[in-house]
Every structure is written in structure tokens, then in C-alpha cells.
Amino acid sequence: MSVRALAAPILFLTVVAGVFLLLALPLSVPVGPFYWDTLIYYDGAARIAAGQTPSVDFMSPGGPLGYWLFYAVLKVFPQAQGLYAASFMLLIVTGPLMALVVHDVARRNGWVALALAVPFLMFSVLPFNVEQHYPYPGADGFGIYNRQPAQLLYLLLSALLLVEARWVRVVSVAGCLLALFLIKITGFLVALPLVALAWLSGRLTARQLLAVLAAFGVVVAGLEAWNGVVGAYLRDIVRLVELNDGSMVFSLLRGVSIHLGQIVLALLLAAVLLVLERRGILAGLKAAAFLKVDRAGLSAVFDTHSAWILVAIAAGTLFESENWGGQAFIFLWPPVIRCLTDPALARGRRQLLLWVIAVAALVPAAESVAGRAMRSYVAQLRYERMVAPALGPIAAVSQHPESFERARLMRELAVAFPAYYALAADRGRLPSYIMYNEPEFQIAWLAAVAEGVSAIEAYEARTGTRFETILSLNFVNPFPYLLERRAPRYVSIGADPFRTIPPLDARTTRSLEETDLVLWPRCIETVANRRIRAIYAAGLAGRRTIALSPCWDGFVRPDPANGRSPPGGEAEVSSTLAAVGIR
């Protein structure tokens, strides 16, 4: 074994270990659009800490693996910055697998191993999407469970196309499929054609494919036997599909339009390769027409650079059709690297043409992620860090001082002029179409959460009451994590009333009825929060309302867990709550 081949994976794993050690530092990230998506993982971690199982005890927008990994990271680094923890956590799975790939490739070509490892680490470490949803510098707290399948698909194609050791290929492919299945089902589904192409092209023999499927089946069956999570997860997927029954054609067109430049350039590269490989492909097709297909003939048709790039484009287009943010088409790197290092194509103008198109196809996504990261981190040198002790590590964020001023103004306006926001909600609209994208809204929302935590603690100290179970009628419910309490079972996390909350059933109604405190956010009232409240209304009947702070009302059970009801004299019902009969 060469020193170079051994040094490559050691160096790679050292970098991965160094990345995780960064979580022990008091880092902050510049708040960007939809930053509150990050707190979905805190909600999931708090539920896991309380003994709940994803899908079995709560519905979630992603698979269970992400919440398990985040919980594991917080156990080791409890003060870690949340977005970095959520971004790095997949390296627990992908780091060792990619090290195997790097080791195998480095035995033959160290530069190719480096070309695979560097982009993979960049996309895995930097919390930025290819797409930009707001013009000002800031990290992307959303799209995390879209970025992770793209990284896994990158690893999968690296193993299928550039690994020679059979056991490394089997272990890597099985690990990728398991992680894709448990992170996001659509990533798993688009991986299947890639695995099928590997079998047709001879890159996976029948025995290797059976080994992959057996390993996958054993783990999935083991999880199901352990706690029923797989069956519950599949049932959640069916419910999510029912809730998101939109036009597939429209979704595909939207995905294509967002990434049109990258798709066109990748198709151009595939077309050039198709021309260069036409003789072998035609010979294979001719043999098939005369029923003289053998392994060499299949390989001539299916193990071509053009075939792999075309299938990767199709898989990426399908995957991005239902994503609002992620790292689109980063998994084109392995098949493109393979074609650029093919000796049969390394001749004169032909090679120059391939390099020009390949660079044009790959660089924009890498430039977007790296460029936005550089711009954000440079801007962060002048940013102000949030001060909110009640939020713990969730407050490890920063933004321009003006954003904090505007956030304070947003709260003042919400308290002084609630009718303005109520009117927008009456019309079924937000005050601004991109309000959730704006850093000042995200900061104002975090400040409101801190206010809510302090208000609950003050109320409990004043009245001798303790709320053991807490739910916020909002997109995210960070209060159980922050107060070390429990969240109600069978209630969705990442509560989007238009996409992720199913109709109320008997067990969820009963769980809501048993919840000690349900929080209603008054800063800012939105149509989404109203709809969440309406969906859960049957489980909130009969509650009294207390005014915890200008930004928070609480719906309290008449018989809290400690047997002492809150004082009735502090009850105050806002006009917006009276609309659904909650008292």
C-alpha cells in the first residue's frame, strides 16, 4: 500500500475531525433567509431527549436520521452553533464512507482523489445553498435536508464511477442508500436509477447488487422491528404526498427554470460526449437489435460518459422539482471528473472543448456557494451579535446593526398596530411577500422567542405553576428545548399548515387536550399561524387565555399537571383568539 494512498484518507478524516471540533468554539453565523428552519432540528432533538421517536411520535418534513444525528451532535457539543451542527452532522455518515472512496481513488491517482474530496468538503461544510433567496449576505438556515441528499448522491456517484475495490463500492453504495432513505425519500428514489444504471453497465455485478440490497434490507428491517419507525415514516410520506398534491409538470418546469443555465450546459456536455462515443454506442445498439447482447455490449451503451451525465441530469431535475433551496446538481462532479480523466478523450482540441464546457457547467454552483460564503463571512466582521441569554446557543447569530434596529421596530409596530398585520392575515397574505426571507424578521422572531421563554419563567415563578408540556402555534416550537420540557406527541414539527400538517385525528386531539400550555404568537400575526390554530382548534377547546407578554398569549388547561390552576384574574382574551372561541 502506497504512502500517498494511505495519507489521503487520513488527511481527509483529519479535516472532518477538525470541522467537528469547530463546534466547541463560540461561533456565530450571519442570519439569512428562513433561518428559523434550523430550529426544526432543536424541536426534534428535544422530543428525542424526551423519549419520542420520529414519525412514530411526531410527523416531520424529513426522515428520522437527521434528527438522530443532530441529537447526537448536541450530546457531544451542547453549546454548538445550531446551523453548523445541522450542516456538519451528516459527516458522521459521509465522512468515513468518503474516506474509503478517497483511499481507493488515491491508490491510482492522487489528483483525482483531491478533485473529489475538496468540492465534497466545501459543499458539506458551508451552510449555503446554490440558490439565493435574499440579496444581503447571510447563511441559509433552510434547505438543509435538501442539501444533504445532494451530498449523498455526490458520494454515491463517486463510489459507483471511480471506486475499483468491490467491497468499498458495496459498503459505500449500501451506506448511501440507507442514509438517503432515512434523510429524504425523494433523494432515495432518484438514486435508484443511478444504481440500476450501475448494474446495467457492469459497475455493480449481480452479486454486489444483492449484497447492497441485503445490507439495506437487514438494517431497515432491524429498525422496523426495534421501534416501528420505518412503517411510520412511510405512512408519513403518504400523508405528505396527499397534502402536497400539486401539478408534477408545473413542479418540473419550476425546477428546470431555476437551474436552466446549469442544465443546458450539462446537456451540452452530454451531447458532445454522445458524439464522441457514438461508434461504441451504435455497435452496442446494433448487437442488441440482433439479440447478441453480452456484458461488453451493455457496457458500450450504458457505461458511457454521456449516459451517466444524462441520467444524473434527469435525477437532479426530478429531485429539484420539489425543492426551494439546496445544492442542486453538485453530484455532476464525479461523472464529469471521470470523463475529464479518461485517457481515450485526452487528445488535443477534443479535450480542450470538454474542459471548457465542464468548467462552465460545474463552476457556477461552486462559485455560488463559495462566493456567498466569502461575502457573508467578510460582512460578518462588521455585524452585531445577538444578545439573548434565554436562547442559549440558538442566539449565536449576527447581522448588520441596522437589521437589529429594524427588528426592534417590527416588534413595536406589531404591538402598537396589531390591526395592520391582522388585516393582511384577513386577506390571506403576508405584509411583505418575502417577509420570512428578511433577516430583520428572523431576528425579531428569535427575540420574540426569548421574550416568550422569560415570560413563561416569570409567570411560573409568580404563580407556582409549572408547564410540563408546551406547544407553540407557530412554524417551529423551540420552547421545550429551551425550557427543558416536553412537546406534545403526534404533533407535526416544522408546522407548515399548507404542506405538513395533516387533518386532526383522535390521538392528536387527545394529546393537544393534555398539553399544559399552548402559546399563541401575537408578534406578528400571520395567516399561517391562524391556519395552524384553526387546524388544532378541536384540541384547544375549553382553555383559558393568559397574557404572558405583549407578544405571547397562553392557552392554559383548567387542570395543569401539578394540580394548581393559574390565577383567573390574569386572563385576557385577544380579539383574534375570540374568533375561534378559545377562552
Give the pLDDT confidence of 17-73 residue by residue, as tens digits. Answer: 999 999 999 999 999 999 999 999 999 999 999 999 999 999 998 899 999 999 999
What's the pLDDT at 293? 61
Higher local confidence (pLDDT), 312 or 5: 312
- For the chain, give the mean pLDDT: 91
357 and 492, same domain (yes or no): no
Distance CA 166, CA 168 (A): 5
**Chain centre to alpha carbon of residue 427:** 31
Is residue 427 in some structural domain? Answer: no
H/E stretch holding 521: strand 517-521
Asked if residue 272 lies in contact with residue 353, where contact means CB atoms within 8 angstroms, the answer is yes
Tell me the three cell numbers of residue 157: 456517484
Q: How many CB atoms lie within 10 A of CB 562?
A: 12
Which of 325, 341, 376 is the C-terminal boundary of a domain? 376
Q: What is the CA radius of gyration of the chain?
A: 26
365 and 441, same domain (yes or no): no
Query: Is the per-residue pLDDT at 230 higher than 70?
Result: yes
Residues 6+ apart with CB under 8 A from 150: 123, 187, 319, 326, 327, 328, 329, 330, 331
365-400 pLDDT per residue, tens: 999 999 999 999 999 999 999 999 999 999 999 999
Distance CA 317, CA 338 (A): 21
Is residue 525 in some structural domain? Answer: yes
234 and 327, same domain (yes or no): yes
397-399 vs 29-30, strand pairing mode: parallel
Residues 6+ apart with CB under 8 A from 579: none
- 158-185: average pLDDT: 97
- 395-422: average pLDDT: 95
**CA dihedral over 15, 20, 23, 28, signed as positive or negative:** positive
Is residue 506 in some structural domain? Answer: yes
What's the pLDDT at 296? 62
440-493 pLDDT per residue, tens: 999 999 999 999 999 999 999 999 999 999 999 999 999 999 999 999 999 999
Residue for cell digits 444524473? 312
Query: Is the per-residue pLDDT at 582 higher than 50?
Result: no
Tell me the CA distances in angstroms from 180 to 65, 66, 130, 298, one per residue in order.
9, 10, 20, 28
How far apart are the two ends of the chain, measured CA to CA in Å? Answer: 73
Distance CA 24, CA 52 (A): 27
Higher local confidence (pLDDT), 389 or 574: 389
- DSSP-based three-state secondary structure for 543: coil
Is residue 126 in some structural domain? Answer: yes
What's 494's DSSP letter? S
* pLDDT over 90, % of the chain: 80
- DSSP-based three-state secondary structure for 387: coil
Distance CA 463, CA 456 (A): 11
Distance CA 466, CA 566 (A): 10
Give me the amino acid identity at 476. Answer: V
What's the pLDDT at 282? 82
Tell me the residue ranges of DSSP E strands in 87-243: none
Which of 376, 405, 424 is the C-terminal boundary of a domain? 376
Residue for cell digits 380579539? 575
Distance CA 128, CA 126 (A): 6
* Greatest CA separation for the chain: 89
Q: How confident is the model at residue 246 (pLDDT cuts 50, 70, 90)?
A: low
254 and 342, same domain (yes or no): yes
Domain region containing 336 = 3-49+59-376
What's the pLDDT at 299? 73
Report pTM.
Answer: 0.93
**Chain centre to alpha carbon of residue 417:** 35
CA nearest to 59, candidates 186, 190, 243, 216:
243
What's 552's DSSP letter? E
What's the pLDDT at 222? 97
369 and 452, same domain (yes or no): no
Is residue 226 in some structural domain? Answer: yes
Distance CA 370, CA 199 (A): 35
Which of 335, 360, 376 is the C-terminal boundary of a domain? 376
Total number of domains in the chain:
2
Asked if residue 514 lies in contact with residue 533, where contact means CB atoms within 8 angstroms, the answer is no
Is residue 551 in some structural domain? Answer: yes
Distance CA 148, CA 180 (A): 8
74 and 207, same domain (yes or no): yes
H/E stretch holding 470: strand 470-472
112 and 237, same domain (yes or no): yes
Q: How many CA atoms lie within 13 A of 328 on its CB side?
A: 28
Tell me the three cell numbers of residue 171: 459498503
What's the pLDDT at 348? 75
107 and 183, same domain (yes or no): yes
Count, residues in the chain = 583
Query: Is the per-residue pLDDT at 542 higher than 60?
Result: yes
Is residue 14 in some structural domain? Answer: yes
361 and 507, same domain (yes or no): no
Q: How many CA atoms lie within 13 A of 579 on its CB side?
A: 9
Q: How confident is the model at residue 228 (pLDDT cuts 50, 70, 90)?
A: very high
- 215-231: average pLDDT: 96
| Backbone phi and psi for residue 370, each to the nearest 5 degrees, phi listed first | -65, -40
302-359 pLDDT per residue, tens: 889 999 999 999 999 999 988 888 999 999 999 999 999 998 887 778 888 999 999 9
81-133 pLDDT per residue, tens: 999 999 999 999 999 999 999 999 999 999 999 999 999 999 999 999 999 88
H/E stretch holding 411: helix 401-416
**CA dihedral over 135, 139, 142, 146, signed as positive or negative:** positive
**1-10, 270-279, 430-439: the lowest-pLDDT one:** 1-10
CA nearest to 115, candidates 296, 338, 441, 315:
338
266-288 pLDDT per residue, tens: 999 999 999 998 888 887 777 66
What's the pLDDT at 297? 62
Burial of 142 (0-12, 13-18, 19+ CB in 10 A): buried
Is residue 248 in some structural domain? Answer: yes
Q: How confident is the model at residue 151 (pLDDT cuts 50, 70, 90)?
A: very high
Asked if residue 138 lies in contact with residue 399, where contact means CB atoms within 8 angstroms, the answer is yes
